[in-house]
Amino acid sequence: QKEVEQNSGPLSVPEGAIASLNCTYSDRGSQSFFWYRQYSGKSPELIMFIYSNGDKEDGRFTAQLNKASQYVSLLIRDSQPSDSATYLCAVRSNYQLIWGAGTKLIIKP
């Protein structure tokens, strides 16, 4: 059974600090990794994807991938109250995305 694991949280971070979200996956053959943001009652929104080991930066977001450790993370710099949401990690295995249950992030003003 291919799995993606995330800490459910909530993760509470002060406004302006760095939020660090983590995800581990079981399928060593996975090649594509995605982070989605989901506000309460809304659908997921794709915010980052990464294919290669290392870091990928986009504005305040940085995705980090370590295939040897089967670990992917998302850093959010200068956290804002509007970043409060559930963050879903998804990993592609064959033609499907395998989803974690999400980490709830709360940014405290």
Partner 1 sequence: DGGITQSPKYLFRKEGQNVTLSCEQNLNHDAMYWYRQDPGQGLRLIYYSQIVNDFQKGDIAEGYSVSREKKESFPLTVTSAQKNPTAFYLCASSIRTDGDEQYFGPGTRLTVT
Residue numbers at the binding site for partner 1 (CB under 8 A): 4, 8, 32, 34, 42-46, 49, 88, 90, 92, 94-102
Nearest CB to partner 1, comparing residues 19 and 102: 102
Least distance CB 15 / partner 1 (angstroms) = 27
Per DSSP, the three-state class of 82 is helix
**Cα 89 to Cα 93: distance, rounded to the nearest angstrom:** 13
With 0-12 / 13-18 / 19 or more C-beta atoms within 10 angstroms meaning exposed / middle / buried, residue 37 is buried
Nearest CB to partner 1, comparing residues 79 and 104: 104
Nearest CB to partner 1, comparing residues 54 and 95: 95
Query: What DSSP designation does 42 have?
Result: S
